[in-house]
Amino acid sequence: MGASERKRKQNSVTVLTYKPMDTRFAVVSIVATLLATVGLVKFGAAPIAVLCVLLWLAVFFYHHPLLLMLLWPATLIHQQIFFGKSLSEVSSAFANLPILFYPMDVPYFFTIAYLIIKFATRRREVIRALRENPFLSVLMVIVLASLIVFTPLYGKSAIGEARKSFFCFLFPLLTALTIKTYRDIRILMLGVLITAVCLSLLGYSNVMFGRPIAVSGEGALVLLLTTFSILVMHANGMVMTTKVIDVALIGLFLLQLVITQQRSVALAGIAGLVLLFGLQRHKIPFLAKAIVTTTALLIVISLVFINTPEFERSFTKRMSGIIKPESDHTGSWRMRGWRQQLNDLSARQLLVGKGLGSYYLWFDRGAKNIVGPHNTYVMIVLKLGLLGLVIYGLLVFRFFHKILGVANNLPRGPMRAYLEMSVVNFGAAHAYMMGYDFCLIILMFYAIGTSAARLLEDFREVSEQRKEAA
C-alpha cells in the first residue's frame, strides 16, 4: 500500500471519527436523559411517553403545515361535542396535569413548536411574516409581556387566560408562513365549511334529543360567517361546492340560527348584511336574488311563528334586547358590570390594564359577581388597558384599509371573493364581540384576507420583475 493511499484512508478515518458537534450532542443527550429521569420519577412513564409522541408529531406537522392549519378548525367540532360540560369534565383524562387542559391547547402546542422550528431554520420567513402584520405582532408582544409580568402574581390564572382569549392570534402567523398558493386558501375555506356542516349536524342532534341549547355562541357564529362566505362566492360568479348543495347548506345553517336565537349572532348578522350589500351594491342580479331569498326566509319564519306561538314569544323576547338592552335582564345586568369595573380602574390600570389573570369582581345590588364581562372590548381594557385596545383598533383599521384597497382593483373571481368574504365576516364578528370574547373563527377570516392580499402582492412583484428583466 502506497504512502498516498495510507494518507487518504487516514484522512477518511479522521473525517468519520471527529465531528465538531460531538461535544454539544453529548451535552444535549445527558441533559435530555436527566430530564427524562426526573420526569419519570415525578410524573410517571405515561406523561413522558406522551411528550415523546408530541415531539414526533411536531416534526410531522412541521413538514406538513397545511395539516397543522386544518387542525385548528377541527378543535371547534371538539368544543361543540363537549358544549355544556365543565372544563373539569372535559379535562378529566388529564386530571394529574399541573394546569387545566383546554381543547385548543393541542393546536397551540404544535403551532408554537412549528414557529420555533421555523425561526431556527428559516428566520427570514418568520421575520417577514411579523413585519407584514405589525400590529398583530405588537399585540402578541403586549400579551407576552403581560403574561411574564403577572404570572408570578396571579399564577396559573394568567396562563389560562392567555390561552383562552389571546393564543388564537397565533393562527394568522401560522397561515402567513403556511399559505403559499390560492389552493391553500381554498383548502382552509373547505376546512371551515366542513366544520360548519359538522356543527350544524351536531346542533340538530341536540334539538332532536331535547337539549336546551342547540349550538354554542361560537358555533352559531361559524354557521353565520360560513353562510356569508357562500353568498359572497356566488356574488363573484363562484360556488363553494355546487349550486344545489350551496343553497341547501344556506337553508340548513339559517334554520339552525333561528332555532339558536343568539342575540350577539343576530347583531353580527345585521352588520354582515350591511357590509355585504355595501360591497355588492353595483351588482343588480345579486341584489335581486338576495331580496327574493330574504323575503322567502321571512315568510318561512312567519309561518313558524304562526304555528308555534311559544317559539314566537321566546324569539321576540330574546331579540328585543338588541333594540332595548336595558329592558333585557341579562343585558342590563352585564352593562352594569361593565360600567362598574371600568369605573374602578385607576389611571395606570386604565392605560395598561390589570393584567392577564386578574380577577373579575363587581357588585350588583349587594351580590358579588366574578363572571367575565362578555364583551371583548371591555375585556381588552380590563386586561391590557387602552394601550391594548388602541393597538387592536389599529390592527382592524389596517386590515380593512389594505383588503379593500386590493379588492377594489380586482375583477370578479376567487381572489376577490376571498377578500370580500374576509371583510364581511371580520366586520360582522366585531358586532358579535359586543356580547362575547375573541373566538377562533374571527381570526380565520382575518387570516384568509391577509393571505389572499399577500399572494396578490407577491404575484404583482414577480410580474414586475419579469417585465423589467424582459
Q: Residue 98 has which C-alpha cell?
A: 399541573
The predicted model scores a pTM of: 0.82
Residue 24: per-residue pLDDT: 53
**442-465 pLDDT, tens digit each:** 999 999 999 999 999 888 877 777
Residue 385: per-residue pLDDT: 92
* Band of pLDDT at residue 112, cut at 50, 70 and 90: very high
User: Which range has the top average pLDDT, 62-66, 214-218, 290-294, 305-309?
Assistant: 62-66
**200-212 pLDDT, tens digit each:** 988 888 878 776 6
User: Which range has the top average pLDDT, 18-27, 324-333, 377-386?
Assistant: 377-386
* Band of pLDDT at residue 14, cut at 50, 70 and 90: very low
Where is pLDDT greater, at 321 or 177?
A: 177
Residue 90: per-residue pLDDT: 46
Residue 87: per-residue pLDDT: 45
Q: What type of residue sits at position 362?
A: W
* Band of pLDDT at residue 32, cut at 50, 70 and 90: low
Mean pLDDT of the region 291-295:
70
Where is pLDDT greater, at 303 or 280?
A: 280
Residue 92 confidence (pLDDT) above 50: no
Q: 3-state SS string over the chain?
A: CCHHHHHHHHHHHHHHHCCCCHHHHHHHHHHHHHHHHHHHHHHCHHHHHHHHHHHHHHHHHHHCHHHHHHHHHHHHHHHHHCCCCCHHHHCHHHCCCCCCCCCCHHHHHHHHHHHHHHHHHCHHHHHHHHHHCHHHHHHHHHHHHHHHHHHHHHCHHHHHHHHHHCHHHHHHHHHHHHCCCHHHHHHHHHHHHHHHHHHHHHHHHHHHCCCCCCCCHHHHHHHHHHHHHHHHHHHCCCCCCCHHHHHHHHHHHHHHHHHHCCHHHHHHHHHHHHHHHHHCCCCHHHHHHHHHHHHHHHHHHHHHHHHCHHHHHHHHHHHHHHHCHHHCHHHHHHHHHHHHHHHCCCHHHHHHCCCCCCCCCEEECCEEECCCCCCHHHHHHHHHHHHHHHHHHHHHHHHHHHHHHHHCCCCCCHHHHHHHHHHHHHHHHHHHCCCCCCCHHHHHHHHHHHHHHHHHHHHHHHHHHHHHHC
Residue 366: per-residue pLDDT: 72
